[in-house]
Chain A
């Protein structure tokens, strides 16, 4: 248990559906991240939030929409996904200070059909 909780653990959605992934941390961290993990690119950074402000967007398609309402919660809103978006989506948090450990959640296994 790392203190970072992701829900749901598994999600199957059609290409026309809208769903959201949730991440929650109560570690007092100021930075939160979304990563995509697939066979082609094992750990691919998608978004970085620092103090609830998005500081990085790694050329992620607009069908992925992040939201960080407060420092403890991070969402990834999904709509009109493609089958190639099927992957493990990992959330992580870190204290936000330079060069400190990132704590990962267990991930959401997403399958787009």
Chain B
């Protein structure tokens, strides 16, 4: 089955700096890669996703890149703000006949210091 590795597990950045989180996946059939942000006391919420037919996607201060050949994808947050502090999860999904199944990375705890 699919295996997703995520690094780093914790990341501390100064406000205004950039943060980068990297993930690798094992199943070459995976073609959907969402990123979730989980704030304290809440469930994960989708912040951006990318499908395998594109290499990069941007939404304001966040961007995701995908390298299908190397089977890795990354989340980039620019001009970080204190409200970006949270746990971030990457995930990968391969086409299945019944029921989408997301495989998640281990998570990255991001702390933005004012």
Contacts and interface: CB of A to CB of B under 8 A. Distances in A.
A104 B38 CA distance: 10
A45 B91 CA distance: 12
A99 B32 contact: yes
Interface in A73-110: 90, 92, 94, 96-107
A99 B93 contact: yes
Interface string B21-41: 000000000011010100001
Contacts, number: 66
A29 to B, nearest CB: 10
B43 A2 contact: yes
Contacts of A31: 99-100
B51 A99 contact: yes
Given A43-B107, A99-B32, A101-B49, A94 B43 contact: no
Nearest to A90: B43
B99 A96 contact: yes
A50 interface: yes
Interface string B71-109: 000000000000000010100010110111111101100
CB-based closest 3 A-B pairs: A99-B32, A104-B43, A50-B99
Interface of A: 2, 4, 6, 31, 33, 42-43, 45, 48-50, 53, 55-56, 90, 92, 94, 96-107
Given A43-B44, A43-B89, A94-B100, 11 more contacts: A43-B107, A55-B98, A56-B99, A96-B100, A98-B95, A99-B31, A101-B34, A101-B49, A102-B34, A106-B42, A107-B42
